[in-house]
Chain A
Amino acid sequence: KQEVTQIPAALSVPEGENLVLNCSFTDSAIYNLQWFRQDPGKGLTSLLLIQSSQREQTSGRLNASLDKSSGRSTLYIAASQPGDSATYLCALLDPIGANNLFFGTGTRLTVIP
């Protein structure tokens, strides 16, 4: 069964810093990987989708990379802002659970003004 891990569980950075969030998975046979943002008690907002054939995707200050062979994805946030404070979750779709997203444990990010 696919296992998805996110380290660190929590991260605090001063405003303006660049930061990297990590997502690791055990089975490299995936269809795609999605990064989500979740504000406390709120829904999940899709940030970026990387297909298995892609290496990275960019959206504004966000850049997500995917290395299937090593079972890793990173979410890079440039010039962090207090509004970026949220929990970031990665989730992947694999051939076994093609109708189920496997979620990571999440990283709670706090950007300090």
Chain B
Amino acid sequence: AAGVIQSPRHLIKEKRETATLKCYPIPRHDTVYWYQQGPGQDPQFLISFYEKMQSDKGSIPDRFSAQQFSDYHSELNMSSLELGDSALYFCASSHRDRVMNTEAFFGQGTRLTVV
């Protein structure tokens, strides 16, 4: 079965550079979530989209932006990178047919290292 695809899997950037992370949700899923997970921490919610519109916003820095495109894939753009941005970035998708039955599926993540 198709899963959530994230690219790239690994990314190394220098401070103050820009990075773009991509997420391809499971086909027919209409909701995408982005999470940041630092070492030894639980995933922290950044932002989510439903039907290509931003639906919820968490602890996403102003230096970051994201969008969901017409084909439902999403991109997380990160500018002026800082050392503290080094983390695993996860994308998840779900289908909100019946919200109580909404099950989120996660991608394998992008490991971003800022040097």
Contacts and interface: CB of A to CB of B under 8 A. Distances in A.
Interface of A: 31-32, 34, 36, 41-46, 49, 51-53, 89, 91, 93, 97-106
Interface residue tally of chain B, by bracket?
A: 20 to 34
B104 A34 contact: yes
Main secondary structure on B side of the interface with A: strand
B100 A41 contact: no
A52, A103, A105: residue with the most chain B Cβ atoms closer than 10 Å: A103
30 contacts: A31-B102, A32-B103, A36-B106, A41-B88, A42-B108, A43-B107, A43-B108, A44-B106, A45-B106, A46-B105, A46-B106, A51-B101, A52-B100, A53-B100, A93-B99, A93-B102, A93-B104, A97-B56, A98-B99, A99-B31, A99-B33, A99-B55, A100-B45, A100-B48, A100-B56, A101-B45, A103-B35, A103-B44, A103-B45, A106-B42
